[in-house]
Structure 1
Amino acid sequence: MTDPERVDHAGPIPGGRVRHGTGVNATRAFPTEAHPTNRDPFVLFERFYIDPDAGFPMHPHRGFEIVSYMLDGGMEHEDSLGVSHTAREGDAMRITTGGGIRHSEFPADGAACNGLQLWVNLPRERKEIEADYADAAAADLPTATEDGATVTTVIGDGSPLELHTPMEYLDARVDDAWTWTVPDNRTGFAFGVAGAGTADGDRIDAGDVLPVDGGRSVEFAPEDSDSSSDDDDTEFRVVCVAGEPHGEPIRQRGPYVL
Structure 2
Amino acid sequence: MDAGSSGHDAEGGPVSGQMVRHGTGVNSNRAFPTNNYPANLDPFVLFERFYIDSDTGFPMHPHRGFEIVSYMLDGGMKHEDSLGVSHTACEGDTMRITTGSGIRHSEFPADGAACNGLQLWVNLPREKKDVDADYADASASELPTNEYDGATVTTVIGEGSPIELHTPMEYLDVRVTDEWTWNVPTGWSGFLYGISGSGTVDGESFSEGDVLPVIDGGAVGVQTASELRAVAVSGQPHDEPIRQRGPFVL
Is it true that 1:188 corresponds to 2:180 in the alignment?
A: no
Which of residues 234, 242, 245 in structure 2 aligns to 1:250?
242
Distance 1:44 1:215 in 2: 19
Q: CA deviation at 1:11?
A: 1.1
Partner SS state of residue 184, structure 1: coil
2:24 counterpart residue number: 22
Q: Is the 8 A contact 2:189 2:217 kept in 1?
A: no
Q: Give the drift of 1:185.
A: 2.1
Distance 2:217 2:157 in 1: 20
Q: Deviations over 1:17-45 (max 9, x none)?
A: 10000000000000000100100000000
Give the match's secondary structure for 1:109: helix
SS at match of 2:112: coil
Is contact 2:41-2:215 (8 Å) kept?
no
Quick one: distance in 2 between partners of 1:43 and 1:212? 14
Size of the aligned set, in residue pairs, is 242
Task: Name 1:229's counterpart in structure 2.
Answer: none
Name stretches of at least 5 consecutive residues in structure 2 with no aligned partner. Answer: 1-8
* Secondary structure in structure 2 of the residue aligned to 1:195: strand
TM alignment of 1:1-258, pairs within 5 A: 8-222=10-224, 224=225, 235-258=227-250
Equivalent position amino acid for 2:186 in 1: D
Amino acid at match of 2:123: N
State the 4+ residue runs in structure 1 displaced beyond 2 angstroms: 7-10
Deviations 1:14-73 (A, max 9, x none): 001100000000000000001001000000000000000000000000000000000000
User: Would you say the 8 A contact 1:182–1:213 is kept in 2?
Assistant: no
User: Aligned-pair distance for 1:89?
Assistant: 0.1
The SS at the match of 1:247 is coil
Kindly indicate whether structure 1 or structure 2 has the higher relative contact order, using CA contacts under 8 Å at least 6 residues apart. 2
For residues 175-217 of structure 1, the C-alpha deviation after alignment (integer angstroms, 9 at most, x for no partner) is 0110001111210110000011110110111000001133321
Whole-angstrom distance in 1 between the partners of 2:10 and 2:62 = 32
User: Which AA in structure 1 matches 2:239?
Assistant: G
Unmatched tracts of structure 1, length 5 or more: 1-6, 226-234
Answer yes or no: is the 8 Å Cα contact 2:197–2:207 preserved in 1: yes
CA distance in 2, matches of 1:200, 1:241: 17
